[in-house]
Amino acid sequence: MAFKEGFTWGVATSSYQIEGAAYEGGKGLSIWDMFCKQPGKVYGGHTGEVACDHYHLFKDDIKLMKEMGIQAYRFSISWARILPEGTGRVNEKGLNFYSELVNELIANGIEPYVTMFHWDLPYELYKKGGWMNPESPRWFEEYAAVVTAELSDRVQYFITLNEPQCFVGLGHIDGIHAPGLKQSVADTLQMAHHILLAHGRGVKAIRNHAKQEVKVGYAPTASMHYPETDCPQDIKAAKKALFQMPKDLSSNWAWNISWWSDPVFFGKYPEDGIELFGDLMPKIQEGDMEIISQPLDFLGQNIYNGLEVREGKDGEPEFIPRHKGFPKTALGWPITPKALYWGPKFLYERYKKPIYITENGLSCHDVISLDGKVHDPNRIDFLHRYLKELKRTAADGIDIAGYFQWSFMDNFEWHSGYEDRFGLVFVDYQTQKRIVKDSGHWYKEVMETNGKFL
C-alpha cells in the first residue's frame, strides 16, 4: 500500500500571484498592490496588476486543468475583492467571481480547496495597523464568514492561513515582502498571537456558516529537517531540531514550526519559546488559547526543502553544512527529497492529523524550445524524487491525504516578480498563452496511476 485510494492529487495557486485585475470588479487595494508600487522592492519593478490574467481567463485555465487530469485545485481568495475596505461592505462582483470559479471547477470534475488568506491583506486594514490591531482576528472572522456563506454549499475544503512564517517573517521581520516592515520581536510576537487568534476565529466562522459538513485545515511551512542516517540517534536529533525554537533572537524567529502549530493543535505555546522570549511574550487573554486551538480536520504543510541533521558529540542536534555543488533549483533553493519523507512523518507523530502537502515544487529556467514545447527535465526529476519519498512515508502508514504541486502555472513569485517560473504550465506574459510543460504531462500520469510508477 502506498498512496491510499481516494488520495487527492492537485495543484495550487494564490490570488495575487495569478489573478491580475487589480483595479477591476470593485476590488479594494491590498498590501501587495501597494508594495509593488515602491521602487526597488520587486525584481524588475514587476507587479501583480495583470499577472496571468486569470480573473478573465479562468474558464480556459480550468479547461486546461481538466485536460491535464487535475483532480483538485487549491486557490486563495483575495480578501479585498470580497470586502474592499476589509470589513463591512461586501463586493458582490468579487463574490460572483469566486462563485463562478467554483461552479466551473465542479462542472469539470475538479475539487476546490479554498485558502482564505494567502498574504494579500486589504490595504485599508493595514492602515488600521493590520495584524497588529487586536481587532484583526474579528476582521478575519467576518471575512471568513462571508466567504463560507457564499461558497460552502459547493466547497467542502477550507484552509485558513497560508504560511504565517512567511507573511510575518518576510513581511514584518526581514521586510522583503509586503508590507515591508522590520518590526521588533515583541511586536511580531504580539502580531503572531493575533494571527493565531484570527486562525481560530476563522475556523469557528467556517464551521458556523458552513452549509454542509466541511473539512478545515491550516497551511504553515518551515524547513523540514531530516536525519543524516537512519540510526535512531540521528532520527531523534532531526526530530528535535525540527520542533525546537531558535536558541537566540538574532535570526528570524518566525521560521519555525512549533510556535505556529503547537498553539493550534495543543492550545499552548512551546516551553522553550516561552523561555526564549521571556518578557517579550505577547499578552494572552483568558480564553485565547481555546479560540486558537479549535479542532481541525487536517494539517496542510507546504514543504520545499530541509536541512540535514545528525546527533552531535554533545548529544544535541548538529546541522550538517551542505557540500560543495549541492543540487539547487533555479531560485537557489536546495533539492532535498528526504524532506518529503521525514517532514510528514515527524509532523504526523507530533500532531496526529491527516496531512496534505499543500505546496511543493520548484522554479526552473524554463524556455520555449525550437519545437515549440517546454522541456523541463529538472522539474520532472525533482518531483519524481520528492514524490518517491512521500510514497515511502505513506507506505509506512503515515496518513497522507493529498498532494498539491506548486504551481499550476508560472506566476508572480512575490519579490522575485516573474523572474522565477514554478508552473507545470508555461505562461507567456506577453500574450497570456499557456503551454503545458513536459512536467505537466508527466504529472498527469502520476495522478492517473495514483503514483504507481514512482
Complex with ligand FCB: residue 48 or 354, whichever CB lies closer: 48
Touching ligand FCB, residues 257-296 (CB under 6 A): none
Q: Which is nearer to ligand FCB, 277 or 408 (CB)?
A: 408
Contact flags string 2-31 toward ligand FCB, x per CB under 6 A = ------------x--x--------------
162 binds ligand FCB (CB under 6 A): yes
Q: Of these, 163, 234, 288, 376, which contacts ligand FCB (CB under 6 A)? A: 163
Contact with ligand FCB (CB under 6 A) among 22, 147, 166, 383: 166
Whether 67 is catalytic: no
Is 135 an active-site residue?
no
Stretch near ligand FCB under the rule CB under 6 A, chosen from 66-74, 158-166, 209-217, 266-274: 158-166
Give the nearest distance from C-beta 120 to ligand FCB in angstroms. Answer: 10
The 3-class SS string of the chain reads CCCCCCCEEEEECCHHHHCCCCCCCCCCCEHHHHHCCCCCCCHHHCCCCCCCCHHHHHHHHHHHHHHCCCCEEEEECCHHHHCCCCCCCCCHHHHHHHHHHHHHHHHCCCEEEEEEECCCCEHHHHCCCHHHCCCHHHHHHHHHHHHHHHHCCCCCEEEEEECHHHHHHHHHHCCCCCCCCCCCHHHHHHHHHHHHHHHHHHHHHHHHHCCCCCEEEEECCCCCCEECCCCHHHHHHHHHHHHCCCCCCCCCCCCCCHHHHHHHHHCCCCHHHHHHHHHHCCCCCCCHHHHHCCCCCCEEEECCCCCEEEECCCCCEEECCCCCCCCECCCCCECCCCHHHHHHHHHHHHHCCCEEEEECCCCECCCCCCCCCCCCHHHHHHHHHHHHHHHHHHHCCCCEEEEEEECCECCCCHHHCCCCECCCEEEECCCCEEEECHHHHHHHHHHHCCCCCC
Q: Does 359 interact with ligand FCB (rule: CB under 6 A)?
A: yes
* Binding residues for ligand FCB restricted to 31-90, rule: CB under 6 A: none
Among the listed ranges 29-37, 99-107, 131-139, 159-167, the one in contact with ligand FCB (CB under 6 A) is 159-167
Choose the catalytic residue: 163, 308, 311, 389: 163
- Residue 254 or 276 having the CB closest to ligand FCB: 254
Least separation in angstroms between residue 162's CB and ligand FCB is 5
Please, what is the minimum distance in Å from the beta carbon of residue 332 to ligand FCB? 12
Binding site for ligand FCB (CB under 6 A): 14, 17, 162-163, 166, 221, 302, 359, 406, 413-414, 422
Q: Which residues are catalytic?
A: 163, 359
